Amino acid sequence: MAYESTGAPDYYNIDDLLTEEHKLIRQTMRDFVKREISPCIEKWAQDAHFPSEIVKKFGDVGAFGPTIPTEYGGGGLDYISYGIIMQEIERGDSGMRSTASVQGSLVMYPIYKYGSEEQRNKYLPKLASGEWLGCFGLTEPDFGSNPGGMVTNIKDMGDHYLLNGSKMWISNSPECQVAVVWAKNEEGRIKGLIVERGMEGFSTPEIHNKWSLRASCTGELVFDNVKVPKENLLPNVDGLRGPLGCLDSARYGISWGAIGAAIDCYESALKYSKERIQFDKPIGGFQLTQKKLAEMLTEITKAQLMVWRLGTLMNEGKATTQQISMAKRNSVDMALHIAREARQIHGGMGITGEYPIMRHMMNLESVITYEGTHDIHLLITGADITGIQAFK
């Protein structure tokens, strides 16, 4: 019997490792994406349009902060559930997944993990529901892979902090109501602050002319003598471990999400290969096409097993930064390679908006760079296995 997809490639019966709740969550998110994202995503991407109405819809379906406790408006779910949600959203589009993953992992997570009870109660329910959109300010124009070099700073003015500096390549920033921002104090220690839309001197210019993540809004954060109340400082974290802890959560989501993009490219290529006739038979009947499809499915299967195991370790509190780093790098590299192979199977049609291939490919060019570049993740693994850091 020919292998048939049941909605996602599952060549190794990985569904047997999932609970019924996991499968229900997957179906709910898959239906949501098919209804709310897939019919419009090509036009949004072509027009470089961020559909701001999607934010409330994400909140309604539970895509924001799935692992945050229900008392703060989150889903109270496990990490495999979170991964599945990111996978299904990125089957739709990486930019849409970026919107959700920034909100959950980079805004809600630090407020929950490092914030006060007052901060949790004030911000998390509004972020979970999609009433507010948040962003995460770490990367600077001159400091990406070396976040410790940041120049954004705060000065203690007695009853408030004075924030100055800028951040670059910030997903959600043009539309955000709140930003979790990392800055150095007078002692050079990195601190986290919650900055709200409307604070004087705070602006969020949009970045235009992107060839990637075109349905996602990206911008800067600019701070010109912004007065931030003392109660907006995240009290329970100090140093670089704060933002890096957030990135662990986000990178974990990406490791699942990128598989979603790969699945969408693979399934499109598989379907096309059975329908496209050349030399009197479907191109899926030629050896080189079968080689491409077989290799795609193999790589997707390997990545699925890796992220399932990583999700289990996350649930047990055993996953390391280095393990998360390896999975993020592997999944995105795999997805980008599959997008390129799928483009070839589609021939000339692969460059058109009739198929999702080029959109995924361009999106993944951002995903392979953000939240730790392809090469930096290699060096994280290298340092872990040799004990010698090669960053400097």
Angstrom distance (rounded) from CA 142 to CA 391: 16
Nearest to 164 by CA among 134, 185, 178, 142: 185
Angstrom distance (rounded) from CA 84 to CA 263: 13
Residue 160 tokens, joined: 């408030």
Angstrom distance (rounded) from CA 143 to CA 166: 11
DSSP-derived 3-state class of residue 168? strand
Beta strands in 57-196 (DSSP E): 134-137, 153-156, 160-171, 178-184, 190-196
Looking only at Cα atoms, what is the longest distance across the chain?
80
Angstrom distance (rounded) from CA 275 to CA 254: 32
Which residues, 6+ apart, have CB-to-CB distance to 289 below 8 Å?
273, 283, 345
- φ, ψ of residue 156 to 5 degrees: the values are -80, 115
Residue 223 tokens, joined: 């701070």
Return the half-sphere exposure (C-beta side, CA atoms, 13 A cut-off) of residue 28: 16
Angstrom distance (rounded) from CA 306 to CA 357: 24
Catalytic one among 90, 220, 341, 371?
371
- Which residue type sits at 138? L
DSSP-derived 3-state class of residue 58? helix
Angstrom distance (rounded) from CA 326 to CA 339: 20
Residue 117 is among the residues annotated as catalytic for this protein: no
For CA atoms 293, 263, 30, 41, give the dihedral sign. negative
Angstrom distance (rounded) from CA 254 to CA 248: 10
Nearest to 179 by CA among 135, 232, 218: 135
Which residues, 6+ apart, have CB-to-CB distance to 354 below 8 Å?
none
The residues that are catalytic are 371
